[in-house]
Structure 1
Amino acid sequence: MTTRMLALGAAAVALGLSGCAASGAAGDSSGDAGSNGAVAMSFAGLDIQIWVDQLEYMEPEIEAAGYELLSDDPQWNIQNQVSSWESWIQRGDVKAIMGYPVQSDSMVPVTQQANDAGIPVVGYATEWDGIQAALIIDNYNDGFTLGKDAGEWIVEHFGDEKVPVGFFSYYETDLGIERSEGIKDGLAEAGANVDLTDMPALTIQDGSDGAANQLAANPDTKVWLSVGSDQMIGAYRTLLEKGVAPDDPDYLLAALDATNESLDIIKEQDSIWRFGYILPAKELAANNVKLLLAAADGEKPENITMSSTRITPDNVDSFYTE
């Protein structure tokens, strides 16, 4: 969730990691990397910082196990993603594929192609027909927890008053849908009286534009929630540009998928970005590697489940990505 310029930079990072483009063309390997063949990691797009971070953590672990790490950048286009997988299947040396599909149902046929070729498939953050196992992220619960915590803050600070809330949602993927619904249900569970403006958003620019539009429509919007941190970073910048003090006690910002930049903001004294939630990229990457290598080595991978951890100024220092 970055601007398009950052997205291109992220894609370049991924291509450097994988030594391949979306077509799955082979790249150079050093040392023992690739001696056992290759494994592939496919995210829906590389404009999500936490996904780029995971690839950086995964590469040395995969190479240490004797495999080459392949990746692609479908740019949220399902046909691009299917084409990448088909290229990997045709290479002949790919031992396992892991992915977060742009659309899960649309990956079933190419997953079957992989299975027919003897290539096991594991899922990231979601499940679909044909995979052996997945890294399960409880997206609904993560959203629900954020919404409930935010709702309790709203009740504590505003009581029964109806409070406008700027909400950066996303409904194009299972992850986004589950988080969006969870946040709304969490607000309801807390009994918060809110006027929710639902703004589907993915990038920093989306968040900045959405905040500007919401402030024009309702300048009293003081609560901002998001399914991801990049959208909230954009909103935060816009709020400061519009004159909101970074320590205004009447504001609440909160989001999932904390990044180093959002951690810096949360860490500030009395920040309006009061808390966030994180699935640390290093831990995600370690579990990705575990699933991929088990599948590649012919073992039976088992589902791994992870939940987000709440971040506050008191514990923020322990969650930075190296």
Structure 2
Amino acid sequence: MKETGPTAMGRRNMLLGAGALGSGLLLSACTSNSNGEADKANVKAASSTSGSTPGKHVTVGFSAPAADHGWIAAITKNAKAQAGQYTDVSFQAAEGTNDVNAQISAVQTLISKKVDVLVILPFDGKALTSIGAQAMDAGIPVVNLDRVFDNSLAYRTWIGGDNYGMGVNAGQYVVRTLKAKGISKPVIAEIAGIDNLDLTKQRSQGFKDALAKAGFSVSIRQAAQFTADSGQQVMSNVLQARSKLDAVWNHDDDQGIGVEAAIKQAGRSEFFMVGGAGSRHAMQEIKADSGVLKATVVYPSSMSASAITLARLIGQSKGMGDLVEQEVPSSITLFSATVTKDNVDQYLPTSFT
């Protein structure tokens, strides 16, 4: 499950797309090709810029939740792969866990090993704030990945996704498509994620605001659990409740596997759907253009690779190659691009399985 900081923080952050993060932080990827090559992580080989020139050796400690979701699994894989691109970086990863106390203990172990920099994606940002502060107090800079700590004193730099922006971009795509179809009074469904999470609230608010600007609104909204099973059940309920839909936004592409299964089972195709997060399955469906899924808004799993690059730069007291400032920024919000059939080939390499 994905979670980032409060919307207010997002508005203050430096809003950057992956392609604008500077020559020391450019992202690309290699994935399976038509010849069946095994998947590789979303990484970028070190370039010849000053920020990528080998320097002081940096040991980066890494902690994230258990890989029980495609996006989280990609986070850990991408971090490890990116560290492997640098000859001056050692990578020490704690075992992933969804137990707050276990993650705190794992990070304490990394602190005791005196790693140079820590990259932490907390299972619960609030609960892990104290351990981030403990690392900072010990002189170990912390790169807080996505789920934000409660106190900015607990981290040196935050990098993560834009949940509100996901909703906005999904809404804007829905509006554009409906207007192109000449539909003035649409029936719009929203299949949200876990409703008590801030990320879900932010995504829904962004979607609502984008629709409202065009005079549209959500007609039916139900929350799932970021799983395929819950997506199938919730979408089945929505389809039974509404005999006609014009558009659907599903917050999460893993959840979307079940949503699509319910749609196929019901034999419905009168509407179009937008996904969320940017899974490979979703992008392949978009490319094939054989079903209702026509777009997805990405929540880049490549952010962990960027976090490793940032940790290295911080550990070496370097700045980002294309920026004038001598230090890494204190916060970076990644852009949620809208992927359609027209640009899917550009984004497939950074999709997650």
| Common fold: TM-score over 0.5 | yes
Q: 1:39 aligns with which of 42, 60, 77?
A: 60
Q: TM-score w.r.t. structure 1 length? A: 0.76
Mean Cα deviation higher: 187-196 or 235-244:
187-196
In the alignment, what sits opposite 1:232?
A: 256
Q: 2:89 aligns with which of 66, 72, 88?
A: 66
In structure 2, the CA distance between the partners of 1:195 and 1:287, relative to structure 1 (3 Å rule), is: same
Q: 2:277 aligns with which of 257, 270, 290?
A: 257
SS at match of 2:277: coil
CA contact (8 A) 1:214 1:221 kept: no
**In 2, Cα distance between equivalents of 1:132 and 1:165:** 40
Which is helix-richer, 1 or 2?
A: 1
SS at match of 2:342: coil
Task: Using the TM superposition, give the Cα deviation of residue 253 of structure 1 relative to its aligned residue in structure 2, in angstroms.
Answer: 0.9
CA contact (8 A) 1:41 1:72 kept: no
Structure 2 matches for 1:89-168, cutoff 5 A?
89-90=111-112, 92-128=113-149, 129=151, 130-154=154-178, 157=181, 159-161=183-185, 163-168=187-192
Q: CA RMSD in A?
A: 2.8
Task: Using the TM superposition, give the Cα deviation of residue 81 of structure 1 relative to its aligned residue in structure 2, in angstroms.
Answer: 2.9
Task: Using the TM superposition, give the Cα deviation of residue 265 of structure 1 relative to its aligned residue in structure 2, in angstroms.
Answer: 0.6
Structure 2 matches for 1:167-246, cutoff 5 A?
167-244=191-268
SS at match of 1:39: strand
The alignment of Structure 1 onto Structure 2 pairs a total of residues equal to 283
CA contact (8 A) 1:148 1:188 kept: no
CA contact (8 A) 2:194 2:200 kept: yes
SS at match of 1:46: coil
Q: Which has the higher contact order (CA 8 A, sep 6+)?
A: 2
Structure 2 matches for 1:80-95, cutoff 5 A?
80-90=102-112, 92-95=113-116
1:294 maps onto 2:344 in alignment: no
1:272 maps onto 2:295 in alignment: no
**In 2, Cα distance between equivalents of 1:86 and 1:79:** 10
Structure 2 matches for 1:16-31, cutoff 5 A?
none
SS at match of 1:321: helix
Q: After superposition, what is the alpha-carbon deviation per residue over 1:281-303, rounded to whole angstroms, capped at 9, x for unaligned? A: 44x34421221212333555323
In structure 2, the CA distance between the partners of 1:209 and 1:171, relative to structure 1 (3 Å rule), is: same
In structure 2, the CA distance between the partners of 1:242 and 1:316, relative to structure 1 (3 Å rule), is: same
CA contact (8 A) 2:117 2:311 kept: yes
SS at match of 1:94: coil
Structure 2: gaps spanning 5 or more residues: 2-40, 42-55, 319-326
**In 1, Cα distance between equivalents of 2:239 and 2:338:** 28
Q: TM-score w.r.t. structure 2 length? A: 0.70
Task: Using the TM superposition, give the Cα deviation of residue 133 of structure 1 relative to its aligned residue in structure 2, in angstroms.
Answer: 1.0
In structure 2, the CA distance between the partners of 1:187 and 1:39, relative to structure 1 (3 Å rule), is: same
Task: Using the TM superposition, give the Cα deviation of residue 182 of structure 1 relative to its aligned residue in structure 2, in angstroms.
Answer: 1.1
Q: 1:49 aligns with which of 70, 76, 100?
A: 70
Task: Using the TM superposition, give the Cα deviation of residue 140 of structure 1 relative to its aligned residue in structure 2, in angstroms.
Answer: 1.1
Structure 1: gaps spanning 5 or more residues: 2-16, 18-34
**In 2, Cα distance between equivalents of 1:216 and 1:147:** 23
Identity of aligned residues (%): 21
Which amino acid is 1:258 matched to? G
In structure 2, the CA distance between the partners of 1:177 and 1:60, relative to structure 1 (3 Å rule), is: same
In structure 2, the CA distance between the partners of 1:290 and 1:261, relative to structure 1 (3 Å rule), is: same
Which amino acid is 1:295 matched to? I
**In 2, Cα distance between equivalents of 1:66 and 1:104:** 26
Q: After superposition, what is the alpha-carbon deviation per residue over 1:48-75, rounded to whole angstroms, capped at 9, x for unaligned? A: 3233224323324313333124144233
